[in-house]
Structure 1
Amino acid sequence: MQLNSHTVLRHMDKHTATYSERETHMRFTFADGGALQTVLTCLVSALCASLCAAAPVSQLGVFAQPSVSVHNGHTTTLPCWLSPSQNAEGLEVRWYREGHYDSPVMLYRGKKFESASQSASYVGRVSFGPKDAASTGLVAGDVSLMLINATLEDAADYICYVTSERGYDSGSVKLTVTGKKAKEEVDAEENVTLDQKENEYLKIIENRKLRDDGDKIFPDGQNVTCLTAIKGTPGFTSGQHYWEVSLVNKATGLKQSWWLGATSASVIPQDKDFIPTPSNGYWFLSSRADHFQFNTEPNVVLPVYSRPEIVGVYLNYDSGELSFYDVQKQSLIGSLTTTFTGEVFPLFNPGKNDKTPMEIIHKPVQGQSDNAENEDPTISAGKNDTAPPEEVHMTGQGQSSDTENRNSTAQ
């Protein structure tokens, strides 16, 4: 039989290299169609093998999850991995925001992290993180980026760029950051009070106004420790709870030193050497003159863009969320996630050498005013008449969209 023209076309495209085999015309005459098929198969196989050997194809295949969404203040992972799986410990991994290659979010090279060119806003907030529970990390080609305390400004398109001696490849992840209302899911706003147990290092007024006793000599010096910490009541074993604390005074200004959070400890040890951590039942946000800090292990430091006058504390026992809000600016300062067990109590610490007290804000009891006389002229606070924070969504394009204004408050 006679075979008409047969065309073999092969394209190979990797990055900037493109290889195309021109059309090849072959005319054969065979008595046996089976022999023809065999010959053609061999010719095509040989041609493909020759082209593949000649083309410098990258041995890397980088894949990424297209998009990730996270709440403002939470930790998230931007999944990126190599396929087929290979050890990435000796590779260069560069994470950067699209258009900012030279100021990476994170740069791993020579089996270590490089910080010289790192974007300043990501210092201390990024590392490798597992893309899923089964991941074994770099050894299996997982090069995912973990981002701690995501902010609205972090919303962007992120590039995961991996380089080896054999080639390079990249993947892209769009990060969306959402803010949310402080009280939209709260069962009831709590009128929290301070534990009535005596503490020689504290001045407590009306069981809700608190500062350190400046006349005392502290055995722990200038360090803020559990010596000045105190529990609140009631305790919680389920549900969602919210309380607000004023940190401003007309006479003394904004409070600089404080802890706010929660504890599962039945008794707070009066021990200057005791270190409160999540592993022993303490979760809190602390404030110093130049930064905020979560007592996580390791600690997470947050920059201070502005100091809150009123902090809202939201505790969701069932989901393990503990969030802190700047009530007047209607924004989330940051969040912790954990697993609560047993009874959990509000936690307060007014710090040291700070004349401004902290005051737990109580909602007025029906039929009564909230104008109780102050026993200490330095202990007074403004009332909260602000609406809860609106929900905001920030996308990789840096645009925001407000959700429907529900103006909901906990009752």
Structure 2
Amino acid sequence: MCASNEVISCAILIFLGSQLVGGSDLPLKCATGLITGRLGSSVVLPCWLSPPLDVKAMEIRWYRPDQYSTPVLLYLNHKVMTDLQKERYRNRTSLSLREENSAGLKGGDVSLELKNLNMGDRGTFHCFVSGDKAYGSCTLTLNLTALGSSPVLSLQPQGDQVNVTCRSCGWLPKPRVEWKLSEQKIPGPGGLLFSQEGELTCVQSWVLLSPSRSGPITCSISLPGGEEKDGHVDIQNILCLKHGGGPWKAISAVSTLAAVALAAISIYFYRKYKTGYTAVKKGQEAEETAYPNPNMEELRKAAVSITLDDTRTCPGLMVKNKLVRDKEGVADTHREPGFPYHLSVYGRNSFSSGRAYWEVGLISPNIPPKTSWLIGVTKASNDFTENKHDDMTPSKGFWFLYLSKQTGLRVNTEPEISLPLVSRPESVGVLLDYDQGELSFYNVKEGICLVTMKTKFQGQVLPMFNPGIGDEAPLKILDTAGPSAVPAEGASSPTDNSVKIP
């Protein structure tokens, strides 16, 4: 009797097992609701058997609607098969774990990891598992988001106010914009525009503020889920630059990174083009007071003779005496988007104190002014060939003004500030006041200050030049040094050529 009962129990277990494995369906489950991934990153699409069942000997197939025969991923005969896999998913997919304590295939976890997400990955995915006699399937939907670029702020005088504009691209879905002044929300922007860049969204917003308003102005651009990127700017009182630049509105551009870095950047720009300026006192109406433009001859009293260092240059540059330009064909081979920051050359002169002034020519006879260039200074220890654009910031020891065909005139603050450009400069003057922590740029022909960066220099700094690509005109170091100038010595390294100006 006992043996007979054991046989019956055994038969029941065999029957139940056959119902689980040999029935019409496997108990396959997919995550419910939208699965959201970030454009360019990775995501796991959860799919599993419940109750758990070892699927190592089964077929696992992930595919898109109506694409069963060209799967996203196919696991068969204990391995991933790539022969039938859709080309666009090769090297981007793998079986993964839906949670850390998952037992993987042994526990019925057949989740898919999809890497380097792109816009074509949005939509429905089918998860299919098949045994000898049973199968199961379920579907889930993948949604994508994209966190756009860091906002770029630009400032433009507009009557007695300052137009602060915030721009950013690369968002998905359409973001929202919020302005704050000293952490207090500004009710409603002055303007808001959206545009499409492919399938991603660009946004531009602006506010009009009095130059007497103090405190940080913040432009926050965010996704519906709360992820955001901020840009900050501080409009301060008009200042008279000590080197004769006249009064300029001071704008301090800061970000979370810059706030903790040594480089606190102050930006000065002119209010009225080439004419007088208006002094504004905090809490008062504007007083009409005219100030002179910079005295260029006074600036030239601090002139130095800059020599280009052809021993530290990019192979794509041609350096001859005081001229530098891109070599023939470089414009055709430069396929990276944006400005070619690596095409830079240093000056042999290094500075660790005092004041120094030099001028850079951006035009040649019968040739229009250059459309792209970069002029500034850098820490002597920096190597531009090893730095990406994101690393070329004041907190990393780079300070420069640059003109790009794509983005216009900008200064490399954190975040970058876009400056108003009436006409392309024919020559740019650079005044380095090491002790005061100021680097100023001038439109020499018009006799105006374009911008002043205020920071704290440490160690030796070198002049830095980049001619851009594709222009007919080269970039030329002009001879502005008079009898009082400090000439560059013929040393082969910046360390041996430190110039100190009394």
TM-score, scaled to structure 1: 0.51
Asked if 1:285 corresponds to 2:359, the answer is no
Q: CA deviation at 1:269?
A: 3.3
Q: 2:329 aligns with which of 208, 215, 236?
A: 215
How far, CA to CA, are the matches of 2:159 and 2:281 in structure 1? 6
Deviation at 1:97, TM superposition (A): 7.2
Aligned residue for 1:405?
none
Q: 2:304 aligns with which of 159, 179, 190?
A: 190
2-structure distance, mates of 1:327, 1:313: 10
Q: C-alpha distance in 2, partners of 1:311/1:354?
A: 17
Give the CA deviation at 1:360: 0.2
Contact 2:163–2:208 (8 Å) recurs in 1: no
Q: 1:108 to 1:241 in 2, by over 3 A?
A: same
**1:201 alignment counterpart:** 316
Aligned pairs for 1:8-407 within 5 A? 111-112=185-186, 114-116=188-190, 128-129=214-215, 145-146=235-236, 148=251, 149-153=268-272, 155-156=277-278, 171-174=283-286, 178=291, 179-182=293-296, 184=298, 188-197=302-311, 198-206=313-321, 208-216=322-330, 218=333, 221-271=336-386, 273-275=388-390, 276-289=392-405, 291-363=408-480
Whether the aligned pair in 2 keeps the contact of 1:150 and 1:177 (CA below 8 Å) is: no
CA 1:235–1:361 in structure 2 vs 1: closer, same or farther (change >3 Å)? Answer: same
Q: What letter matches 2:403 in structure 1?
A: S
Structure 2 SS opposite 1:284 = strand
Structure 2 CA distance for aligned equivalents of residues 323 and 177 of structure 1: 21
The SS at the match of 1:184 is helix
| Distance (Å, rounded) in 2 between the aligned partners of 1:322 and 1:250 | 29
For the structure 1 residues 250 and 105, does the alpha-carbon distance in structure 2 shift closer, same or farther, using more than 3 Å as the test?
closer
Moved over 4 A (4+): 103-110, 117-123, 125-128, 154-160, 175-178, 217-220, 363-366
**What secondary structure is seen at the aligned counterpart in 2 of 1:227?**
coil
Q: Distance in 2 between matches of 1:199 and 1:303?
A: 30
Q: Which residue identity is paired with 1:111? A: K
Structure 2: how far apart are the matches of 1:227 and 1:219?
11
CA contact (8 A) 2:189 2:206 kept: no
CA distances 1:104-143 after superposition (whole Å, capped 9, x unpaired): 88986982463326997968x998527xxxxxxxxxxxxx
Residue 273 of structure 1, CA deviation: 3.1
Q: Which moved more, 1:274-283 or 1:284-293?
A: 284-293
For 2:452 and 2:207, the matched residues in 1 are separated by 18
Q: Partner letter of residue 351 of structure 1? A: G
1:315 is aligned with what amino acid?
L
**2:410 match: secondary structure:** strand
Query: Does the 8 A contact of 1:182 with 1:314 survive in 2?
Result: no
Deviation of residue 334 (structure 1)? 1.3
Distance 1:187 1:104, change over 3 A: closer
Q: Against the structure 1 CA distance between its residues 112 and 270, is the aligned structure 2 distance closer, same or farther, given a 3 Å change threshold?
A: same
Give the aligned residue type for 1:264. Answer: K
Residue 172 of structure 1: SS of its match in structure 2?
coil
Q: CA deviation digits over 1:181-215, x for unaligned, max 9?
A: 24526653111011121420101112x10111232
Percent identical residues: 30
Q: Which amino acid aligns with 1:241?
A: A
**1:321 is aligned with what amino acid?**
E
Contact persistence 2:360–2:429 (CA under 8 A): yes
For the residue of structure 2 that corresponds to 1:347, the secondary structure is: strand
Question: What residue identity is the alignment partner of 1:232?
Answer: G
Q: What amino acid is the match of 1:226? A: Y
- Distance, in Å, in 2 between the alignment partners of 1:347 and 1:315 is 12
- 1:174 aligned counterpart, secondary structure: coil
CA gap 1:298/1:205 in 2 versus in 1, 3 angstroms: same
Report deviation, 1:363: 4.3
Separation in 2, partners of 1:126, 1:282? 30
> For the residues of structure 2 that align with 1:257 and 1:126, how far apart are their CA atoms?
34
1:305-349: per-residue Cα shift (whole Å, max 9, x none)? 012111111110000111111111111111111111100111101
Residues 274/222 of structure 1: CA separation in 2 closer, same or farther (3 Å cut): closer
Q: Classify 1:173/1:97 alpha carbon distance in 2 versus 1 (closer, same or farther; 3 Å).
A: farther
The alignment covers a number of residue pairs equal to 248
Residue type of the partner of 1:284?
A: F
- 279 and 267 in structure 1: CA distance in 2 versus 1, 3 angstrom threshold: closer
Larger RCO of the pair (alpha carbons < 8 Å, separation 6+) = 1
SS at match of 1:279: helix
Query: Is this contact kept in 2: 1:157–1:172, CA < 8 A?
Result: no
| Residue 286 of structure 1: how far off its partner (Å) | 0.4
Q: Does the Cα contact within 8 Å between 1:204 and 1:210 map onto a contact in 2?
A: yes
Question: What is aligned with 1:394?
Answer: none
Distance 1:333 1:122, change over 3 A: farther
- Counterpart of 2:437 in structure 1: which amino acid? G
Amino acid at match of 1:174: A
Instruction: Please give the per-residue CA displacement for 1:82-116, whole angstroms capped at 9, x wherever unaligned.
Output: xxxxxxxxxxxxxx977x8xx98898698246332
**Separation in 2, partners of 1:248, 1:186:** 20
